[in-house]
Structure 1
Amino acid sequence: MVATVLGVLLLVVGILAKPFLYDRLATVALDQKSTSVSEGRNMSALYAHDDNGSAAFDKLENVTLRSTRQVLGIPGAVKDAKKQDTDAFWQTTVRSQADLNGKWTDLTYSDEGVSFNRKTGESTNCCGDYKSAGDLADPTKTVPVSHQGLFFKFPFDVQKKTYKWWDGDLSSAQDMEYLREETLHGVKTYVFRQTTPKTEVTSRDVPKAIFGDSASGDVNAKVMYGNVRTLWIEPNTGVLIKGQEELDKSLQADGYDEVATTKGTIGYTEATVKENADKWGSKGRLLGFINGALTPLGIGVGILLVALGVFLLFGDRSARKRATTA
């Protein structure tokens, strides 16, 4: 009797694993909260700051840069009741700093709000997406933006194919191509890469002083951007375990030498990678088991236990019947 009950239970679990358990677990949280830190050594950057009441522009070379990214889910941002089960809205802020004489000094600050599908990770623009238009002096200034593709994460059950990933500098989603598998701290990841050849993304008037010109006034400059972005993704959850960017951002103006605004390789610190691997490795394995082996295992073992229970039940009845007849 016990074997039969247990077998039926396992059959139910196996049958419902994907349509019930997996469907509910493979959904991102509305109240997400996380921090990731990236660092890059021997980088170049432009440091705009105030020097005794005057604007100063220091061209930093061979410095260490740090980028601290915080992600905060805002459940109340999804006001449409029909979308509350399918969409999430997360805010991400990034503060970039340079190590100047042993002190972390602020360089830039950004703030962005993104709405996306809780299962596929695709941008939905349902709930007032925005991006930062301010700076360190006024970090709250924002403008509306229409996002495309993936932003925070890949979909659950990641496939070895090309996805579209949002690039904020280009204001569009670009191909993120699958490269290979790689293990980080015992966690299997899929490695993807997005390559953007250096190109002009816009132009704007900037102070001549940026180019070392002592004359007052502005000059029209091309804003140049190139990047090789590599992401290590836990395939069951679609979460980033590690990220790295090979940046080449600069300003170009006729008659002046090019000025690097950010150049060099920056990526997640080893502490951030390990923390991500420790947190998402076990969750990924559990989700993969529910989405994969649990169904055939539950159904297979369930059938065997039910068969065993039936055999024991009728076998016991036959034995008792023979004993009574004798």
Structure 2
Amino acid sequence: MRKTASPFSLVLLGLGVFLLVLAPMLAWYVAPRAQRTPVDIDATTVFTGTGSYFDTGTLRTKNRQKITITRHVLGDVAESERSGRAVWDVSTTVDTPVTLELKDPRKAFQWTLERWVTDRRTNAPVHCCKEAPTRFEGDAYLKFPFDVQRRTYRWWDNTLGAAVPLRFAGTKHVQGYEGYRFTGTVAPTRTGSRQVPGRLVGRPAQGQVQAEEWYANSGIEMVVEPRTGRIINASISPHKTLRAPGARTDAVTLLRGSGLEFTPATQRTQVALADADSTKLKTVGETAPLAAAVAGGGLTLFGVVLVVRGRRRFS
């Protein structure tokens, strides 16, 4: 009389061992590779709020006006696949009530076109693929890196042309969804110059002067979904002015926005996308590995017991 293992016990044992091997592979190999910035993105975010802007028709600053900022991000899939990077083309328009009705970015109060290239895993800037601007830096742009930490990040401000430190400031709920809150400011900084009539900046005796362009931002707030780094709400308070050459005070307000924030519709869209992406990453990195480990351990133990007990045969 001898003992032999039944086919059923061997199947259970093999399945259990497979699941035990699968668990760490999902957690340590598959999950990190799932954390990749998407390249097939086609998204629009809209900020609105009240502010002031300089009306070139009347040469006066209009106050208490609705300001709308619309940003459209389109991924260049072909270039992204070729380079292995995330290549995004970004169109940003700033509209007043008058220009918003025209529905033409070329007639907006301000329109910028940019091409941002980042490492799909780290979110670090990559200088290739005809990126513009060519010197952008930092570690947070249209999104934050994956697995956001409670620390300070450098957020790229395209108006400033430099990275701004955003400090962790607790948590905040957006449309019922909790995210990490980061805040920062930009002190008045000279960003360039433009030729304007002298009388516009308090120099009536001069026909044309090279006025200084200054920029500040009194309040930047980003609320970020921690696992994906997706921004679920954003608020900015930009202030762009002109000064006479060498002056210490502003002469003209070109644009001032107070608390320009994602619209409720944009918030809902961002929250839904963040929740879906976070759930996928959690499933691959936590839920599935844990389930595989628990099931694999149970099946392996049960299979070993059956093999040891065996099936009695008489020779």
1:301 maps to 2:309: no
1:188 maps to 2:178: yes
Tell me the distance in 1 between the aligned counterparts of 2:93 and 2:212. Answer: 24
Tell me the distance in 2 between the aligned counterparts of 1:276 and 1:3. Answer: 44
Q: How many residues align?
A: 297
Tell me the distance in 2 between the aligned counterparts of 1:257 and 1:89. Answer: 38
Amino acid at match of 1:7: G
The aligned counterpart of 1:155 is 145
1:40 maps to 2:52: no
1:76/1:146 CA distance change after superposition, 3 Å: farther
Q: Residue deviations 1:260-281, cap 9 Å, x none?
A: 1121221110100001111221
Deviation at 1:68, TM superposition (A): 0.9
The aligned counterpart of 2:190 is 200
Verify the 8 A CA contact 1:211 1:256 in the aligned structure 2. Answer: no
1:240 maps to 2:231: yes
Verify the 8 A CA contact 1:121 1:152 in the aligned structure 2. Answer: no
The aligned counterpart of 2:161 is 171
The aligned counterpart of 2:94 is 96
**What stretches of structure 1 of length at least 5 have no aligned partner?**
50-55, 132-144
Tell me the distance in 2 between the aligned counterparts of 1:215 and 1:6. Answer: 88
Bigger fraction of residues in strand: 1
The aligned counterpart of 2:24 is 15
Task: Give me the identity figure in percent.
Answer: 26
Verify the 8 A CA contact 1:48 1:107 in the aligned structure 2. Answer: no
1:21/1:255 CA distance change after superposition, 3 Å: closer
Q: Residue deviations 1:93-117, cap 9 Å, x none?
A: 0111111499467211110011110
Alignment of 1:38-77 (within 5 A): 38-41=47-50, 43-48=51-56, 57-77=59-79
The structure whose RCO (Cα within 8 Å, separation 6+) is larger is 2
The aligned counterpart of 1:135 is none
Tell me the distance in 1 between the aligned counterparts of 2:72 and 2:221. Answer: 19
Verify the 8 A CA contact 1:157 1:236 in the aligned structure 2. Answer: yes
Tell me the distance in 2 between the aligned counterparts of 1:216 and 1:252. Answer: 14
1:273/1:148 CA distance change after superposition, 3 Å: same
1:276 maps to 2:270: yes
Deviation at 1:186, TM superposition (A): 3.9
TM-score (norm 1): 0.80
1:183/1:313 CA distance change after superposition, 3 Å: farther
**What stretches of structure 2 of length at least 5 have no aligned partner?**
1-7
SS for the counterpart of 1:291 is helix
The aligned counterpart of 1:288 is 282
Among 119, 122, 125, the alignment partner of 2:121 is 119
Verify the 8 A CA contact 1:120 1:154 in the aligned structure 2. Answer: no
CA RMSD across the alignment: 2.9
1:167/1:256 CA distance change after superposition, 3 Å: closer
TM-score (norm 2): 0.83
Deviation at 1:118, TM superposition (A): 0.5
Tell me the distance in 1 between the aligned counterparts of 2:200 and 2:212. Answer: 13
Verify the 8 A CA contact 1:154 1:239 in the aligned structure 2. Answer: yes
Amino acid at match of 1:261: L
SS for the counterpart of 2:28 is helix
**Greater alpha carbon shift after TM alignment, 1-10 vs 25-34:** 1-10
Deviation at 1:293, TM superposition (A): 4.8
Amino acid at match of 2:165: D
1:27 maps to 2:51: no
Deviation at 1:152, TM superposition (A): 2.1
Tell me the distance in 1 between the aligned counterparts of 2:92 and 2:307. Answer: 66
Amino acid at match of 1:147: F
Verify the 8 A CA contact 2:71 2:92 in the aligned structure 1. Answer: yes
Verify the 8 A CA contact 2:169 2:183 in the aligned structure 1. Answer: yes
Verify the 8 A CA contact 1:45 1:60 in the aligned structure 2. Answer: yes
Deviation at 1:287, TM superposition (A): 0.7
